[in-house]
Structure 1
Amino acid sequence: MYVVIVYDVGVERVNKVRTFLRQYMNWVQNSVFEGELTKAELMKVRSRLKELINDNSDHIIFYSSKDRKYLGIEELGTPKADTGNIF
């Protein structure tokens, strides 16, 4: 499935969250990751993020779709990076 994760976490946790998510997804913008995940990977990502954040002050949103082609994506400006070459 195609997943977009948007997060707003405390400054002291941003690097930990970003470093972790880079193992599974493409970093497309500050506090935004997207990519293909299996159900098992998504469960693992959710579980680890739950450990990294502070439930009282941080917020993470997961958007998911069967495939990226079903999302209505429109972009303006210059993308952060070419995600096609990220492994």
Structure 2
Amino acid sequence: MFILIAYDVQADRTEVYKKFLLRFLTHEQNSVFAGDLTESEYRKLRAGLSRIAIPEDRILQFKARNRHNIQAATLAKNAGNGALEDHALLHHSMNSTIV
């Protein structure tokens, strides 16, 4: 399954989340992580998040059953005319399937 997790926590807690999420997912930007997980890995991820989360933390999760239902891309501003360009996130691949 494909998972995207973003979090909004107090500044002194960001490293706790970053260190934990890097065990499972790719660091996309500041507090955003994404990647493919097996069901077992996903259960471990959720259990770990449950251990480190406190009531004030906000954790946002997007989950898809498989990569075929998702198109992941970054949007970057073109220096020339200012238009936004899509750049596929090629590192979000599994078993040679690229989104």
Q: TM-score range by the shorter chain?
A: 0.7 to 0.9
2:68: which partner in 1? Answer: 69
Q: Give the alignment's Cα RMSD to 1 decimal.
A: 2.0
Structure 2 CA distance for partners of 1:49 and 1:26, relative to 1, 3 Å: same
Deviations 1:47-77 (A, max 9, x none): 111211211x111121111223312434212
Q: Percent of counterpart pairs with the same letter?
A: 30
Deviations 1:4-48 (A, max 9, x none): 111111111110110111111100111110001111111111111
Name segments (4+ residues, structure 1) moved above 4 Å. none
Please show how residues 11-26 of structure 1 align to structure 2 within 5 Å.
11-26=11-26
Q: Which structure features the higher share of helix residues? A: 1
1:6 and 1:25 map into 2 onto residues whose CA distance is 11
TM-score after normalising by structure 1: 0.79
1:65 and 1:7 map into 2 onto residues whose CA distance is 18
Please, which runs of 5 or more residues in structure 2 have no aligned partner?
78-88, 92-99
Task: Work out which of the two has the higher radius of gyration on C-alpha atoms and give 1 or 2.
Answer: 2
Instruction: For CA contacts below 8 A with separation 6 or more, give which structure has more relative contact order.
Output: 1
Query: Which secondary structure state, in structure 2, belongs to the residue aligned with residue 23 of structure 1?
Result: coil
Q: Which structure features the higher share of strand residues? A: 2
Residue identity matched to 1:19: K
Please, which runs of 5 or more residues in structure 1 have no aligned partner?
none
Structure 2 CA distance for partners of 1:83 and 1:26, relative to 1, 3 Å: farther
Question: Number of residue pairs matched?
Answer: 80
